Amino acid sequence: MALVSMNEFLPKAKANKFAVGQFNMNNLEFAQAIVEAAMEEKSPFIYGVSEGALKYMGIEFTVAIAEAAAKKSGLPIALHLDHGSSFEVAMKCIRAGFSSVMFDGSHYSFEENIRLTKEVVKAARAMGVSVEGELGTIGGVEDDISVDESDANLAKPEEAIRFYEETGVDCLAIAVGTAHGMYAGEPNIRFDIIEEVSKAIPVPVVLHGGSGVPDEMIKKSILAGVGKINVNTENQVACTETIRQVLAKDAKVYDPRKYLTPAREAMKAVVREKIQLFGSSNQA
Nearest to Zn ion of 208, 274 (CB atom): 208
Describe the crossing of helices 110-126 and 157-167 by its angle, rounded to 10 degrees: 40
* Nearest-angstrom CA–CA distance, 93 and 53: 13
Please choose, out of 62-70, 107-115, 117-125, 201-209, the segment that lies near Zn ion by the rule CB under 5 A.
201-209
Nearer to Zn ion, 230 or 242 (CB): 230
The total of other beta-carbon atoms located within 10 Å of residue 152's CB is 17
User: 278, 20 in Cβ contact below 8 A?
Assistant: yes
Q: Which is nearer to Zn ion, 52 or 262 (CB)?
A: 52
For residue 201, the minimal CB distance to Zn ion (Å) is 19
Question: Could you give the C-alpha distances from 76 to 42, 153, 176, 178, in angstroms and in order?
Answer: 10, 34, 28, 27
Smallest gap from Cβ 93 to Zn ion, in A, equals: 16
214-234 in b/e form (b: 16+ CB < 10 A) is eeebbbebbebbbbbbbbbbb
Answer for which of 80, 118, 156, 208 binds Zn ion (CB under 5 A) is 208
Which residue number is nearest to Zn ion in terms of Cβ?
Answer: 208
- Spatial strand order in the sheet of 139-142: 145-147, 139-142, 179-180
The reply to whether 80 sits near Zn ion by the rule CB under 5 A is no
Of 82, 104, 143, 170, the active-site residue reads: 82
From the centroid of its chain, how far is CA 199?
22
Compute CA distances 213 → 75, 113, 186, 238, whole Å: 27, 28, 7, 16
- Closest contact distance (angstroms) between CB of 83 and Zn ion is 6
Q: Using the rule CB under 5 A, give the single segment among 24-32, 122-130, 208-216, 240-248 that binds Zn ion.
A: 208-216
Question: Which of 20/284 has CB closer to Zn ion?
Answer: 20
Catalytic annotation on 82?
yes
- Site size for Zn ion, by CB under 5 A? 1
Beta strand pairing call for 77-84 and 100-103: parallel
Q: Which stretch binds Zn ion (CB under 5 A): 7-15, 149-157, 203-211, 235-243?
A: 203-211
Write the DSSP symbol of residue 199.
Answer: H
Q: Which is nearer to Zn ion, 80 or 156 (CB)?
A: 80
CB 49 → Zn ion: shortest distance, Å?
Answer: 12
Contact 46/232 with Cβ under 8 angstroms? no
CB of 206 to Zn ion, least distance (A): 8
Could you list the active site residues? 82
The contact set with Zn ion (CB under 5 A) reads 208
